[in-house]
Amino acid sequence: MQCVAVLSPGDMGHAVGAHLKGRGLRVITDLGGRSALTRERAARAGFEAREGLDAVVDAADLVLSILPPAFAEDLALRVAGAMKRTGRTPVYADCNAIAPATTQRLHGIIESAGADFVDTGLIGPPPGRAAATRLYASGARASLLSELSAGDHDQGLRVHLLGDAVGRASALKMTYAGLTKGTMTLHAAVLVAAHELGVFGELAAELEASQPQAWARMGILPFLPADSERWVGEMEEIATTFRDAGVSDGFHRGAAEVFRLMASTPYAAESRENLDRSRSLEETIRVLAAHLAPKG
C-alpha cells in the first residue's frame, strides 16, 4: 500500500492523514466544496489535493471515510460511482460513528462497485495528541489496515483487528461512545435542569464534595458545542444500534436532543482551533438554559 485517500481532512481526518504521511505513505484527498478551515488542515497535514472523486479513486490503494455520520452513506454512494466510472476498486474503509445496520448498508454499496469494504471504528483523540488513537477494524480485508500502524508501540495510531465479520468494529464504537458521549449529555442535562430549578450552585458544591470525579469530568462541557452538530447524528446511530440489540433507544435519542441544544448556541460556531478555553462551566450552562425551548 502506497497511497491512501482520506475523505475528509476534518479534525480527526487531517490528523490521521498527517500520521500516515509520517509513516511514509502518500496521502490524497478531494477538497471540492470544502471550507477554508478544511483546506488549511489538509495543507498543514501535507495532503495532495485531487480534483474530484474519480481522480482520488484512480490513485488510491485505500480510501478512508472519516466524516460526520450523517454524510457517510452519501460519500459511499459517490465513491462507488467513481469506482464504476474509473474501473478502479481500492479498498474502502468506513471509519465513521455509524450503527452496524448502517455499516451493512454501506458494505452493500461498496461491494456493488466491486470493491472490498472494511468496517472501522476510531476511538480516542486524533493521532498526535494525548494518547494513541485506537483503530478497530473488521471485515475480510481488515488486516490491510495493519499497515497504517507500527504496532503496539505506535503512539499515534494503533490498529486492532476484530475478525472477518463486518459490523463488529461499528458495534464496538457505538457501545463505547454510548457511554462516553452519552455521559457527557447526561452531565449537561443535569446541570441545565439544576440551573432552571435554581439550585445550580448548591448542586455544584455537593457534587464537588461527594462526586469529585464526576464533577471534574463536567469540566469538559464548555468545549462540547464545537462538536455538537456532528454528534447529533452519532447519538441517533447509537440509538439505532441499541434498538437493534433489543435495548431501549430512549436515552440516546435524548442525548441527541442535548447536542441539538448545544448546536443552537453561539458556541457551536467555534472549532477546536479557536475554542474559548477561558469560558466557565457556569456560563456555559447559563447559555444552554437560555436556548431551551419555551416552557408550556
**Structural domains in the chain plus CATH codes:** 3-164 (3.40.50.720), 171-290 (1.10.1040.10)
Task: State residue 118's pLDDT score.
Answer: 98
- Average pLDDT taken over every residue of the chain: 95
CA–CA dist 152, 94 (Å, integer)? 22
- Mean pLDDT (whole number) for 119-127: 94
What is the pLDDT at residue 16?
Answer: 94
Q: Name the pLDDT band for 273 (thresholds 50, 70, 90).
A: confident
Q: Residue 15: which pLDDT band, with cuts at 50, 70 and 90?
A: very high
Grid coordinates representing 156 are 499515534
pLDDT score at 144? 95
- pLDDT above 90 (res 10): no
Q: Which three cell numbers stand for residue 233?
A: 447524528
Q: What distance in Å separates the CA atoms of residue 212 and residue 181, rounded to the nearest whole number?
A: 19
* 255-264 pLDDT per residue, tens: 999 999 999 9
Using DSSP's 3-state secondary structure scheme, residue 65 falls into strand
Reading across the β-sheet that carries 117-123, which strands appear in turn? 48-50, 26-30, 3-7, 62-65, 91-94, 117-123, 133-138, 157-161
When mean pLDDT is compared across 25-29, 83-87, 150-154, 200-204, the lowest value belongs to 150-154
pLDDT at 190: 98
pLDDT at 296 over 70: no
* Per-residue pLDDT at 61: 97
Q: What was the pLDDT predicted at 171? A: 98
Q: Percent of the chain, pLDDT > 90? A: 84
Residues in the chain, overall count:
296
| CA 229/CA 232 separation, integer angstroms | 6
Mean pLDDT across 42-46: 90
Please check the confidence at residue 6 and state whether its pLDDT lies above 90: yes
| Interatomic CA distance for residues 95 and 66, integer angstroms | 5
Q: What is the pLDDT of residues 127-166, one digit of tens each?
A: 987 788 999 999 999 999 999 987 777 788 999 999 999 9
Is the Cβ–Cβ distance between 29 and 50 less than 8 Å? yes
Q: Which residues of 93-119 are buried (b: 16+ CB within 10 A; e: fewer)?
A: bbbbbbbbebbeebbebbeebebbbbb
**Dist. CA 223–CA 256, nearest whole Å:** 17
